[in-house]
Amino acid sequence: MVWTITAVTFFAVMGISAALLYAFLPKQVGVAGRVSRFLNPVAVEVDEKPAFREKQKARISASLASIGKYLPTSPVKYSSSQLLLLRAGYRRPTAIMALRGVKVLMPIALVTLAIVTRFYQQSPYLIPMAAVVAGYILPDFWLNFRVRRRQRQMQKGLPDCLDLLVICVEAGLGLDQALMRVSQELRIAHRQLSDELQMVNLEMRVGKTRLEALRELARRTGMEDIQALVAMLIQTDRFGTSVAQSLRVYADDLRMKRRQRAEEAGAKTSVKMVPPLVFFIFPALLIVVLGPAVISLINQLGPALK
């Protein structure tokens, strides 16, 4: 019995030691990488090879960019599409060309689909034209959807960002250092907002002034809350008022707006439940409740009616 307990204890200790050694091997297994990213999310491993998915995305983007060069466009449309791509989070130089490549391939794919499925036979001229127009417009709709979704994600993290800014500024940090610290702290919880603040820090390091970097942040995000925050910071810097007090007041106001948005969404729930209730739940309830009674009436009154 003693030897059995000793053997079980020995193997348990060896197993736990092997598991810990396997988990914390430097840069060899996925566990160590995840732990290191959690402990230091800003650190980037230079020698790490890009994943297979990233390689495929880069190849597809390059292929679409090579196709998009053949699509003519106006400078105004080019700048607006580039701004939408920035707001959607696509900052690569080839992103605009890749979008134009999608606009070239999508109409061809839809027309080919209509021909293969013989759907064009219902209207040989109207359906191909509609397929071409839809294929050219659908990428813009998808890009606008991506912009709105990213703005909603940043809007959710903005109150937390302001609270951290207030804490950092009241602790004695300057606004530039506070923005850098907040971008590091929000790296895991709110990745999109962290990227935008990191971009502000990089622009200030390159040589832009704080006002120019903040104005660029407002233009790049296109959010009313961030535009109001940037205007407040610019006025605070211009008139020399307390940054911490201004951030605290704006954080309270933004938190109230978030609570009001939540209350508005809750008030809309009852209205949004009406179509499912009317078209799906009530007919099923009527069938379950009145079905047996209708069947009984048919069985009893059917012979009499005949």
Q: What is the pLDDT of residue 147?
A: 92
Averaged pLDDT of the chain = 79
CA within 13 Å, CB half, 78:
10
Checking if the pLDDT of 32 tops 90, the result is: no
Domain segments of the chain as ranges: 56-149, 151-259
**Angstrom distance (rounded) from CA 149 to CA 226:** 16
**Angstrom distance (rounded) from CA 104 to CA 107:** 6
Q: What is the pLDDT of residue 49?
A: 47
**Angstrom distance (rounded) from CA 171 to CA 161:** 15
Q: Which of 6-20, 24-38, 78-92 is least confident?
A: 24-38
What is the rounded average pLDDT of the residues 71-90?
A: 75
pLDDT tens track for 220-261 = 888 888 998 899 888 888 888 888 888 888 888 888 888 888
What is the rounded average pLDDT of the residues 73-100?
A: 79
Residue 150 banded pLDDT, cuts 50, 70, 90 = very high
Are 247 and 166 within 8 A, CB to CB? yes
**Angstrom distance (rounded) from CA 12 to CA 35:** 24
Structure tokens at 233: 């910071």
List, in sequence order, every beta strand (DSSP E) within 156-278.
none
Checking if the pLDDT of 114 tops 90, the result is: no
Q: What is the pLDDT of residue 172?
A: 85
Checking if the pLDDT of 145 tops 90, the result is: yes
Structure tokens at 127: 């359906």
> Shortest CA distance to 156 belongs to which of 230, 265, 277, 245?
265
Q: What is the pLDDT of residue 74?
A: 60
Q: What is the pLDDT of residue 29?
A: 45
Share of the chain above pLDDT 90, in %: 5
Residue whose tokens read 């297979």? 52
> Shortest CA distance to 88 belongs to which of 154, 187, 138?
154
**At 290, is the secondary structure helix, strand, or coil?**
helix
> Shortest CA distance to 81 belongs to which of 105, 57, 100?
100
Residue 144 banded pLDDT, cuts 50, 70, 90 = very high
- Stated pTM of the model: 0.68
Structure tokens at 223: 């959010």
What is the rounded average pLDDT of the residues 22-39?
A: 49
